[in-house]
Structure formats: C-alpha cells, structure tokens
Structure 1
C-alpha cells in the first residue's frame, strides 16, 4: 500500500469521501431508505433530519480527534474515546464489521451482475475484488481520489431517478396509509434513525480517522463534515420521497431504485445498475482500506500481501450471499455503535484540552 499522504486535503474531498464511504449498495438501491425512513411515513422525515445531524456531529468529532491524535488508523480514535478495555472490544467489532461489509459489497456486486446484466455472479465478485484491491494498493490518496470521482456522478444519478419517481407518482394519502402496514428496521422512526447513523458511522470511522491529520486546518474538517452530512441528507430525502410516492410498487422489491429506473426505460435501468455498482465500489474500497490500515503490526513492506490476502478471504466469504451477510451483520453493529457514540461524547465534553488541534 502506497505511503503517500494527501496533505492539505480540501473540504470537498473530505465530504465526497465521507459520502462515498456510506453510499453502498443499501443506500443507492433505496432498500435502506425504505426500511429506515419511508416505512414510517411522514415521521420518516424527522428520522432523516436526526440521522443527518448525527452524521455531521459525530463525523466532525471523528475528524477532529483523528487530527489531534495524528491518527493513522481508526483504532487510535476508538481507544482514546472508549478506553483500553471497552475500546478494544469496539475495535474488534469494527474490524470484524469492516471485513464482513467488504464481503457483503463483493457479494452485492455479484448480485447486480446476475440481476441486471444476466451474467454469472462470479464475474461480479471477481470484478469488485480486483478493482478494490488495486485501488487500495495505491494508498489513501488513491482511495480518496477514486471515491471523489465516483460520488458526484452517483449523487446526480440518484437525484435524477428520485425526481422522476416523484414526478411520475406524487405522494398520496393512500401511499401514507400503506406505510402503516410495513415493518421498518426498528420499532419507531427515532430508533431507526439512531441505528442508521450508528452502523454507517462505524463504517465511516475507518476512513475519517486517518483523513483528519491530512486536512489543512480544523475549519476544513468542519466544512467537510457539514457538506458530507448535507450531501447524505439530500440523497436520503430524494430517495425517501421517490420510494414513498411509489410505495405500492416497491414495498416488497429488493432494489426499489432500479425498479423506478426501469419505469423510465431499459437503458436508464442499465445505466443506473452501473451507478449502483459504483456505489458498491466506493464502500468496498473504504472497508478494505480501513481493515488493512488497522493491521498496524504488519510492516509496510508486507502490506501489499495483507491487502491481497484480505481481498481473497473476503471473496471466499462473499459466496455466502449478500442478503444473508446484511441481515445478520448490520443491525447488531448498529446497536453496538451506540457505545462508541457515548465514548465520543465523553471525550468531546470532558477531554477538550486533549483534542485541541493546532490551526
């Protein structure tokens, strides 16, 4: 893995990397938004507001603490925030989750190749594993540049499909009534929003922590976190209304946004499948980099073999299947992330003198 550092990284690249880390298969497909927000009807809007606020607040905290510690991996932030013993437990949870989420993204790529391109899942899993492998070998600079390129295209595509979905079928009282029959990802919109922000931030900490030290100043971190949270919020709102306005058709569809894209034309459906694949790529790359950067006991000379070995192992695990991995992995980590949140809040309010960054 290359050792070059993207010194003086700007707010846009921080925001793009933050967004790209989170907008994986679940986000861009519309499935996460359906389960965590649209399923709660109009109350889901409050959930989006809460989740977006949490993305800003905790994303900024992670960046600042990472900068203060000159962190090269997320483990430094986790142990500083939660102490030696509890921090070690959270570190283990995050490390396992990063590997599992990487396997889930590789499996998700295989599912896209089967469902949208009519090809064997082997082509999709091999493709994603190889592309992620070579991107991470270039180091964090390569990861940031790749994600920064993908994110604008991804957001524009999601917004286009979402706006069409809303235009084609505005939200009606019947749509809102149907949401009362749906089972969301949590008992209510408040818990759903907390859980959604939690498991996504558990992924994001792996890439945000080492970015902090490479920003020009703390103001850059503030704007990067704010723009990232706003970008995520806008994307979720667009998908939320698009899914809600077509809830009768997409309530039980695996990939709601692909279905809505198919209503425009088969070509648009195919193009959005490519966009969805890019979303999977951005998250896979972030997960692989975060996992490998955690293995601080491996020296730089042997780091490339660690990347290759991790990718190959994730490829093997991915054969279990995308839905199986997500069903058992994501919810548990989301609730576990609450402990990490508590640690960040404690440090922010009671250890302020230790995290003051030098402008």
Structure 2
C-alpha cells in the first residue's frame, strides 16, 4: 500500500511540475497544439509517449548517480566542462520560466478574480517563501491534492464540451501551417518542459529508493499529462478561433461550467501555477547552494526578486517570446538524454561523493 502511494505521489508531482502557468492557463496548449487543428490529436499522443519515456529516464538517471541537483545530471550527460555550462544556461532559462509562471498568477488575479496584477504576484511570492521551508515533502503532498482535483475538472470540461455545437472541431478544423512546424511543435514542447522539469524530477528520482516505483510513477505521470493535454485541447478547439484572444483561455472555457465551478477552476489554475513555481524555486535553490555559501532563505529571496522584476513585462508577451526560444535550446539537452540510453555513463568521482548525501536524504522521504 505504501509503495502504491509513493507511485501516485511521483505521478502527481510529475504532472504538477509540467502543468505550469502556460499549461494550466491554456496558452501553452494553444500555441503548441490547438492552433494546428485536427493534427493536434496526433501530436498530443506523440508528446505523451515522449513524456512517459524521457521523464522516466531522467528520474532513473538521477537515482542511479544519486544526483543532488540537476547539475549533477548535466555533468553526467555532458561531462565536467560542458555540463557546467549547460547547467548555467538551464538556470537562466528556469529564471525566465518562473517569471512567466509568476506573471501567469498575476494574470489570473487580474482577468478572472478581478484583483490587482501586483497583488497576485506578491501573494504568490509570500506563500512560496512560507511553503519552501517544508522542502520536497510539502511539494509531494501539495500535488497529491491539486492534481486529482485538476483531473476531475478536466473530465467535467470534456463532458460539458460534448454538449456544445462545435464539440467536433478538434477533428474537422484544418490548418494551413507548414507540416514541419506542426510536427516540430510537440518535440519542442516536450523538450522544453522536460528540461525545465529537471529541477524537480532530478531530486525526486534521487530521493526515491526503488527503481520500480520511479518507473510506474513516470508512466502514470506521463499518461496523466497526456490526458490533461487532450482535455484542454478538446475544450478549446470547440471555441476556436475566438479563444485565441484571451490571456487565460482555459478560464474562458470554464465559463460553460457555471460561475461556481469557473471560480473553483480559476483558483485551481492559480494553485497549479503556484505549485510548479514553488517546486522550481526549490530546485533552483538547491542548484545555487552548490555555489553560494549563504543561507538557502537568502538564495530563495534573491531568485524570487529576479522573477518579480521580469514578470513586470506581462504574461502573454513573456510566454510567446521566451517559450519557443527555450524550446529550441532544450532540443540539444533532450538529445543527450536520449543518447544516454545508448552508451555507458560511468559515475564520475564528483557523483560518487554525492551518493552518501543522497542516501541520507532517502531515509527521510516518503515516511507518510
């Protein structure tokens, strides 16, 4: 029973990490899938397969080398010199992505909760700082509650969309986009999201004692991401092309469920953004602790300040500009993750030294 709970915790945390601001609000799904019409169903299936395959591989590598942070995995994949450069590039990208998520929380407050944009940013930062003191265990518990609720709401959206006149748009809408772009989109999407998720998936895999638990958690997590992708695409397709004008397209879709459910859905979108933001800030703090000998709280405050400043540019401009660029950069990283399965990666002395540290962490995880 305890093992099954651990599997679900990993699966829910995996899903919760992928379901960030772009996913939860619908902007990411709109940009990478829905705008491509009927072909999006096939590209979502491709993304699901990649999430299952490479998400699980990433956690297993972290487990095998007892990685302290995502830098250890990059050192393992790319070697000492290139690995450090990749880790710093990843850090910069993560700062940008977290800024987008923070901006997304502000947009939720402004567009659907009718509160001030800056209030959303500051509340998110305050709650993040308070929750981070609990570490990975709090992240696991939070996603174990939020993700099942989001999946239930996704099911309600599917049922509600079936009663709309244009429910079959996801099958009949054609696209004039170049087929290369259409099929490149899911690869860019999964590459980007997995490279960003490493901040959470690496410590998660490292701190899990059983490879079997990791594998089942990765499979269920990847399938769950695919189901939520398909549910959001199905619901937004029914409102194409008008849905593209909204900052929070999924919030507009949720209107069809009624005011009460829409309010709950918007709160859940905020909480999903929040949970991913918390998890990524946690991963960034672990990474910088390996370089800066100051209190983790100070590192966390510095990271949040940088994110706050960047988030002033706004949600949609940041997402539409930064995400495609980050996706292209992530292709190189994902290629090395795939290549790692076809050659031996002996543990470096650096990683061996981390084994004792990681093993001590394993004693304290999943006690519930």
State TM-score, norm by structure 2. Answer: 0.87
For residues 132 and 5 of structure 2, what CA distance do their matches in structure 1 show? 18
Task: Quote the Cα distance in structure 1 between the aligned partners of 2:127 and 2:113.
Answer: 18
Alignment correspondent of 1:25? 21
Q: What CA RMSD, in Å, does the superposition of the two structures yield over aligned residues?
A: 2.5
Alignment check: 8 A CA contact 1:63 1:212 kept = yes
* Equivalent residue number for residue 333 of structure 1: 326
The C-alpha deviation readout for 1:109-145, integer Å capped at 9, x for no partner, is 1111111122111210011111111222221222222
User: What do the CA deviations read for 1:257-285 (whole angstroms, capped 9, x no partner)?
Assistant: 21121133222222211111011112111
- 1:223 match: 216
1:11 Cα deviation from its structure 2 partner: 1.2
Matching of residue 206 in structure 1 with residue 181 in structure 2: no
What is the CA-CA distance between 1:9 and the residue it aligns to? 7.9
Alignment partner of 1:123 is 2:116 = no
Q: Provide the residue aligned with 2:158 in structure 1.
A: 162
Between stretches 225-234 and 336-345, larger displacement belongs to: 336-345
Q: Write the mapping of 1:1-359 to structure 2, written as runs, cut at 5 A.
A: 10-172=6-168, 178-180=173-175, 187-295=180-288, 296-299=290-293, 302-351=295-344
* TM-score after normalising by structure 1: 0.89
CA distance in 2, matches of 1:159, 1:23: 16
Deviation (angstroms), 1:353: 6.6
* CA 218–167 in structure 1, closer or farther in 2 if over 3 Å, else same: same
> What is the alpha-carbon distance in structure 2 between the residues aligned to residue 254 and residue 303 of structure 1?
34
Deviation at 1:222, TM superposition (A): 0.5
* Unaligned segments of structure 1, at least 5 residues: 1-6
**What is the Cα deviation at residue 205 of structure 1?**
0.8
**Number of matched pairs:** 347
Instruction: Report if the CA contact (8 A) 1:163-1:242 is conserved.
Output: no
Question: Any idea what the Cα deviations from partners look like across 1:222-267, whole Å, max 9, x if unmatched?
Answer: 1011000000001111111111222244243332221121133222
Q: Runs (4+) of structure 1 moved beyond 6 Å?
A: none
CA contact (8 A) 1:63 1:209 kept: yes
Q: What secondary structure sits across from 1:72 in the alignment? A: coil
Q: Distance in 2 between matches of 1:234 and 1:163?
A: 14
Q: Which moved more, 1:19-28 or 1:257-266?
A: 257-266
1:3 maps to what in 2? none
* More divergent stretch after superposition (46-55 vs 9-18): 9-18
- Out of 54-63 and 242-251, give the one that drifted further: 242-251
CA distance in 1, matches of 2:273, 2:328: 23
Task: Tell me the secondary structure at the aligned position of residue 292 of structure 2.
Answer: coil
Q: Distance in 2 between matches of 1:345 and 1:119?
A: 44
